[in-house]
Chains A and B, each alone.
Chain A
């Protein structure tokens, strides 16, 4: 347990310091959201209707881009080999790394959501709904994206290939995240049904992600 806590503390510390790049994700999120009004036109009514979708897309892309480095930096400096050979199960270590990554890179996105909601003319209820769905849904993005990160480090390929592999897996999260926020804002569905499915997706990926990532690391590293 202390080993996992130490791993989480270390990863968060590295991510937040110079060269870590966790907060670049927030900057990217902001840039994507600011780009949208240029693409669809500065129509406030339209923006508030598209708002949840824009925020979700931005968060999806931001968490995908930062995931690229989840195992890569550790592989380059050799600490991934130590983690693989340590007595802590690799699955738990992967889960700890993903949790640290979510705390360092995922939570700031959710904190930034109310500010970005202002830019997109969302009211209080809508902003709260989007932030709540992001809080429930972004762990699923991190934990499924971790599978791609594991493949990327074993194949020495990142970038586009990883995006192509991971994005189809994140489609259900996007569907139910946006559906839950839309249900809270305009109805007619209840907020509860899509939101529970979103939570279920997060829980499933919490189980599947570490196992798949650990399998690809174990079979792929040599």
Chain B
């Protein structure tokens, strides 16, 4: 099974119909384990119980960048390989990524209030994630503004690839500038600085959130394919009505085309 095989939407629908229940079940189980473990995780000696916001905040923030990465690869698929499902993947991922980014910003500001004494601070990490959120919204606006999906897909692909420049800026903003946001502590040179009792629940939650994204993404892609089919059926119906009202002879001809 390669990516080329999935270029057939019907085959993609059949495969995902079989995959989705398993993915959903795995997501629910891992989320339950992750939430249970993070509830049992000890309080931080400085932050107290608020450290538990981390188990939601960090996976959301990772996913906000991961989803843009997925969209960038899908955009390459649209522009370079002209894969027919690539623009469906890019379009379906945008609202999900925007939600993850919004949740990362929201949980971050709820965590920042007791820890930093402010809901919002214009530091490099926060500002660059906010830019990412605005770009998600702009991309969604672009998808909605154009009625021809293939035309919108190519424009959105160019914009997505330009926006991908933001990803390394977000990742390394805490190293390049002295900011209020803490530097990287899990994915860094020389191993994690996080204690095991925090690290294991965090990784479980990260995997659970990734699975959640995959599940939601595949479901959204299915919906998008079905939406496009409904749209083209409606167009066919409309053209048939237009033909049949024009005259009996054209009407019978278009009926044959419709039957074929």
Which A residues are closer than 8 A to B by beta carbons?
147, 150-151, 154-155, 157, 161, 164-165, 167-169, 171-172, 175, 204, 208, 212, 215-216, 219-220
Which residue in A150, A204, A215 is a CB contact (below 8 Å) of B79?
A215
B148-170: CB near A (< 8 Å → 1, else 0) gives: 00011011011101110100010
Residues in A whose Cβ lies below 8 Å from that of B162: 147, 169, 208, 212
Contact B142–A220 (Cβ < 8 Å): no
Q: In the complex, what residue of chain B is closest to A161 when comparing beta carbons?
A: B145
Contact B158–A212 (Cβ < 8 Å): yes
Closest beta carbon of chain B to A143's beta carbon, Å = 11
Closest beta carbon of chain A to B76's beta carbon, Å = 11
Instruction: Decide yes or no whether B255 CB sits under 8 A from chain A.
Output: no
Which residue in B79, B135, B137, B145 is a CB contact (below 8 Å) of A155?
B145
Q: In the complex, what residue of chain B is closest to A152 when comparing beta carbons?
A: B155
A220 to B159, CA, bound (A): 13
- A147-B141 CB under 8 A given contacts A154-B151, A155-B151, A216-B154: no
- A164-B155 CB under 8 A given contacts A171-B131, A215-B79, A219-B79: no
Residues in B whose Cβ lies below 8 Å from that of A215: 79, 158
Instruction: Decide yes or no whether B138 CB sits under 8 A from chain A.
Output: yes
- A168-B79 CB under 8 A given contacts A155-B152, A157-B146, A216-B154: no
A157 to B155, CA, bound (A): 12
Residues in B whose Cβ lies below 8 Å from that of A147: 158-159, 162
Contact A208–B138 (Cβ < 8 Å): no
Residues in B whose Cβ lies below 8 Å from that of A150: 158
A208 to B164, CA, bound (A): 12
Instruction: Decide yes or no whether B47 CB sits under 8 A from chain A.
Output: no
Task: Scan residues 93-143 of chain B and give those whose CB is less than 8 A from a CB of chain A.
Answer: 127, 131, 134-135, 137-138, 141-142
A164 to B141, CA, bound (A): 8
Contact B131–A157 (Cβ < 8 Å): no
A73 to B135, CA, bound (A): 27
A108 to B158, CA, bound (A): 31
Q: In the complex, what residue of chain A is closest to B155 when comparing beta carbons?
A: A151
Closest beta carbon of chain B to A71's beta carbon, Å = 13
What are 5 inter-chain pairs, A to B, with CB distance below 8 A?
A: A167-B134, A168-B135, A169-B162, A212-B158, A219-B79
Residues in A whose Cβ lies below 8 Å from that of B161: 212
A157 to B143, CA, bound (A): 12
Which residue in B137, B141, B145, B154 is a CB contact (below 8 Å) of A219?
B154
Which residue in B79, B127, B159, B169 is a CB contact (below 8 Å) of A165?
B159
- A168-B155 CB under 8 A given contacts A155-B146, A157-B145, A157-B146: no
A204 to B134, CA, bound (A): 21
Given contacts A168-B138, A220-B155, 9 further A-B contacts (CB under 8 A): A147-B159, A147-B162, A151-B158, A155-B155, A161-B145, A164-B141, A165-B141, A168-B135, A216-B155
A58 to B241, CA, bound (A): 53
Task: Scan residues 234-259 of chain B and give those whose CB is less than 8 A from a CB of chain A.
Answer: none
Closest beta carbon of chain A to B145's beta carbon, Å = 5
A154 to B158, CA, bound (A): 12
Residues in B whose Cβ lies below 8 Å from that of A175: 127
Contact B158–A168 (Cβ < 8 Å): no
Q: In the complex, what residue of chain B is closest to A147 when comparing beta carbons?
A: B162
Which residue in B79, B127, B131, B138 is a CB contact (below 8 Å) of A164?
B138
Residues in A whose Cβ lies below 8 Å from that of B134: 167-168
